[in-house]
A and B are shown apart, each in its own frame.
Chain A
């Protein structure tokens, strides 16, 4: 049973990778600032020691009882790691930042490794152990969703800075007006949507920095709310999975299974491996979209930032699996349109850019489609609510409210439909892109058989 310890195996790999990263980093810094390079290596060494001792302690602890070596190991760890850190900072005169970078490297590699593992990209000895039953796959889908959220939020932060700056540059024609331009941009955005609770909170508490920050990054806040809701539901449903499921577990399993069936019809047996991401995308987007129907909430997908982040994650995932399954050469061959004869090679200079452009257009079209649909629906509702408000202002209450409320309710039903369909389209297109990238001779054969 050499596979029995995936946790330790992955720790070993992460530590090895972190040493390589630290050496590379130190080598890159060393010519200019040798002291910083030494600090990075020292930090890496301390973090390495931290993990080694931690593993020793955990091993002694789990293997049983009160071993005197346990106290020794804990003491040695505290003295070496924390004493070393404190000593280096106070006496050694090293700079703080490179030391922290070095110390953070093993943690970072461990984190990245676990993301890769959760996405099913780990070494075979680890991924083979993953449960593939449908009942569990929702729990599996929930785990990448957490990383999806983290990644999404990170990319989102980067991108929400970019378009704002670009717009400011475009509109400002000069540095001092930039702030004003972002302000008007913000106001313009605010006028096009119904106020949510964050905006209301912001209006009642002007100048509060926390609320200010939340209001400015409300897309992230609502994405996190939706993600937490999603995790809560999946946790509640799969907390104690039963053989004979109750109504709640049954409902969740039905949703997951029917979604897996739909995607499995496209992707074939490989769906087991990719359903965690695709299913998480579907349910996450669905939750976000549906959140917008609740008054005072907002669909985070009505911002291009979030949809672009999700589409980029899908894009990178598809390219990653393309390279992993086809190999670098096979991937390039796929991009070149698989030239096999003279005509194919002659068309290469045309086909290669076309294929690359086609790949790059995928995330753009994915993100714009989701954003445009959800934003359009939201705008539609805002227009009708605004018309109602105008009529109420003109004191035509009795005349205005019943038909307008009816129309708005109708459009909200339409919004529900759009939310489901768009989430479905996003995840189905992700499946289709994946299908186009993966080798699928068996499936194609089967299809050829059917058509005959």
Chain B
């Protein structure tokens, strides 16, 4: 397989795979946070901060894939 062709197939696929992982992670985080909020609404502000930080960590994984794509994109064609 040609290198550009491999890149052209692999980069979008890689982002999709990374997004699956991040999506699962963010979903779990959101689920846990929602449940905790339902049980104890008074910890809302503290919880939101922790939740947003967690989102940031989970989302970063997709962003790494995105940045990789951005750096390699020029060599596709």
Which residues of A come within 8 Å of B, CB atoms?
A: 171, 185, 188, 261-262, 265-266, 304, 365, 368-369, 371-373, 375-376, 421, 424-425, 428-429, 432
B26-70 residues with Cβ-Cβ distance < 8 A to A are 45-46, 49, 52-53, 55-56, 59-60, 63-64, 66-67, 70
Residue pair B49, A262 in contact (C-beta under 8 Å): yes
Structural contact, B56 and A372, CB atoms closer than 8 A: no
Residues of B within 8 A of A (CB): 45-46, 49, 52-53, 55-56, 59-60, 63-64, 66-67, 70, 74
Known: A188-B74, A368-B63. 11 other contacts (CB 8 A): A261-B45, A265-B49, A266-B49, A368-B64, A369-B56, A372-B70, A373-B59, A421-B55, A425-B56, A429-B53, A429-B56
Are B49 and A368 within 8 A (Cβ)? no
The 4 closest A-B pairs by CB, nearest first: A372-B63, A425-B56, A372-B66, A369-B60
Closest residue of chain A to B53, judged by CB? A428
> A163's closest neighbor in chain B, by CB?
B71
Task: Give the Cβ gap from B60 to chain A, nearest Cβ, in Å.
Answer: 5
Q: Which of B45, B55, B59, B60 gathers the greatest number of chain A CB atoms within 10 Å?
A: B60
User: Within 8 Å CB of B45, what residues of A?
Assistant: 261-262, 265
Which residues of chain B are near A424, meaning CB under 8 Å? 52
CA gap between A376 and B15 in the complex, in Å: 12
Contact A425 B53 (CB under 8 A): yes
Contact of B63 among A188, A262, A373, A421 (CB under 8 A): A373
Contacts between the two chains (Cβ within 8 Å), count: 46
Given contacts A188-B74, A372-B67, A376-B66, contact A365 B60 (CB under 8 A): yes
Q: How far is the CB of B66 from chain A (nearest CB, A)?
A: 5
A contact face: mostly helix, strand, loop, or mixed: helix
For B74, what are the chain A residues with a Cβ–Cβ distance below 8 Å?
A: 171, 185, 188
Complex alpha-carbon distance, A424 and B49, angstroms: 9
Residue on B nearest A188 in the bound complex, by CB: B74
Chain B proximity of A193: nearest CB distance (Å): 12
22 A-B residue pairs with Cβ-Cβ distance under 8 Å, sorted by A, are A171-B74, A265-B45, A265-B49, A365-B60, A368-B60, A368-B63, A368-B67, A369-B56, A369-B60, A369-B63, A371-B67, A372-B63, A372-B64, A372-B66, A372-B67, A373-B59, A421-B52, A421-B55, A425-B52, A425-B56, A428-B56, A429-B53
A360 to chain B, nearest CB (A): 15
How far apart are the CA atoms of A240 and B39 in the complex, in Å? 45
| Distance in Å: Cβ of A417 to nearest Cβ of chain B | 12
Q: Which residues of B contact A432 (CB under 8 A)?
A: 53
Q: Are B59 and A369 in contact (CB under 8 A)?
A: yes
B69 to chain A: closest residue by CB: A372
Closest CB-CB distance, A181 to chain B, in whole Å? 10
The minimal Cβ–Cβ distance linking A288 to chain B, given in whole angstroms, is 18
> Shortest distance in angstroms between A98's beta carbon and chain B's nearest beta carbon?
43
Kindly state the separation between the CA atoms of A346 and B77 in the bound complex, as whole angstroms: 51
A-side contacts of B60, CB under 8 Å: 365, 368-369
Residue of A nearest to B60 (CB): A369
A232 to B59, CA, bound (A): 34
In Å, the complex CA distance between A372 and B64 comes to 8
Whether A265 and B53, one on each chain, are in contact in the complex, defined by CB atoms closer than 8 angstroms, is no
CA distance A35 to B5 in the complex (A): 62
A185 to B74, CA, bound (A): 9
